[in-house]
A and B are shown apart, each in its own frame.
Chain A
Amino acid sequence: MNSFEYASPRTEEEAVALLSAHGGNTAVLAGGTDLFNLLRAGCITPSRVVDLKNIRSLQGVSATSRGVLIGALTTLDELLVHPLLKPYDSLAQIADGVHSIQIQSMGTLGGDLCLLPNCWYFRNGYGLLGMERGTSLPATGRNEFHAVLGNRGPAKFVSASRFAPALIAWGAVARIAGPEPGQVSELPLEYFFTSPKTADQGVTVLQPGQILTHVLIPDPVHDEVQSAAYEVLQMEGLDWPLASAAVCLANSAGVVREARIVLGHVAPTPWVSLDAAAALVGREIDETVAQAAGNAAVASATPLSENEYKVQIARTAVKRAILRAAGQLEGALS
């Protein structure tokens, strides 16, 4: 591991200033559940690591006039039990699905949203795009865990965030500080994620000197909203989903008025499926309707040489997330 400076600021302004130094060759430490893997593997070689854990304003969950504001340092187990988050079933289901008490205790929401991909070419030092001598290794090599949607560009990895699909389905907004101290901006979480086109681009809109400070979940405009998430994992233990789906359904009189469906781990970014949502609007949820939405979600899939099976898994994840939201999923997860 390369040596690096360590900084532990107390305020967002200090953090932003510390992160802007060294030409932006800096890294953020929150829970540290993945940062040290990346540092040890040499995937990133920052000159300075800025520890956000002592910044009070980034902690905790609070009710505001616009909705529930979740600090980026909120840990996964806090998400699981916080009374203000009780209405957001899909979030608790995902936190519960992280089958590691250590990661639930240490891992933060901000860390999850900013996770770098688990693509094995990236983790072995070939960069986010997995290029060697002008050839895309994931496109021509081992890609069984790679993207089946949005993979026509140079990025073939899948977005690693587990919480992004559920938060995007809830219409969440990202609050970003920097790069100038005191500067704050907001954007819908959906647009926070990017699919890099060149080797020097990242997986989010964050520029050097910027940090994700909070996620705001606006209060729902509809009274009756059902939500759920469904992740398909290969292993029951610590593992990354092969595909996941999160849904929010606004109903009246048993009929879906509005739907949001977002897939995870199938594309370089969380994948919003307007087609799947459209398949639900105006209908009562049953297995046939949920299946039609699942089909719509993957209709434009372009699997790589080894990952066609993921299309079926993504289809099923969407179907089961919808049935789970509607209270119709049979079995242990209902």
Chain B
Amino acid sequence: MDSKTGRYINADLTHYKLPRIGDIGELQAIMYQPDSEYQRGVVGLGEPPVIAPGAAISNAIANATGVRVPVLPFTPKRVLDALKGVHA
């Protein structure tokens, strides 16, 4: 969103940089289904597994660079700004 004109400036997929299949990498699905969870009725497929990776990758970046990049997605701009101490 452009604050001056109030218009969306990334209303297409050229500028709204969603990750696509090439950005995802190899995924391996491991079904986690112990009886203890089944008995409690805790069942999830699809969205629940999406919750952890962002935090895990964020921790990996912090581990590799020493700085926290607190906002997803971890774009080159956000990572480099964080390294320079610029507020993203």
Contact = CB atoms under 8 A, between A and B. Distances in A.
B23 A120 contact: no
Nearest to A235: B23
A134 interface: no
A161 to B, nearest CB: 16
A239 B17 contact: yes
Nearest to B77: A309
B1 to A, nearest CB: 8
Contacts of A135: 4
Contacts of A309: 76-77, 80-81, 84
Interface residues of A, number: 31
A235 B19 contact: yes
Given A141-B4, A235-B17, A312 B80 contact: yes
Interface string B3-14: 111010111101
Interface residues of B, number: 24
B15 A141 contact: no
A120 B7 CA distance: 11
A99 B23 CA distance: 11
A308 B86 CA distance: 10
**Residue of B4, B9, B11, B81 ringed by the most chain A CB atoms within 10 A:** B9
Interface string A301-332: 00000111110110000000000000000000
A238 interface: yes
A142 interface: yes
Given A132-B5, A135-B4, A232 B76 contact: yes
A132 B4 contact: yes
Interface string B45-88: 00000000000000000000000000000011100110010100
Contacts of A239: 17
B25 to A, nearest CB: 9
Given A124-B7, A309-B81, A238 B20 contact: yes
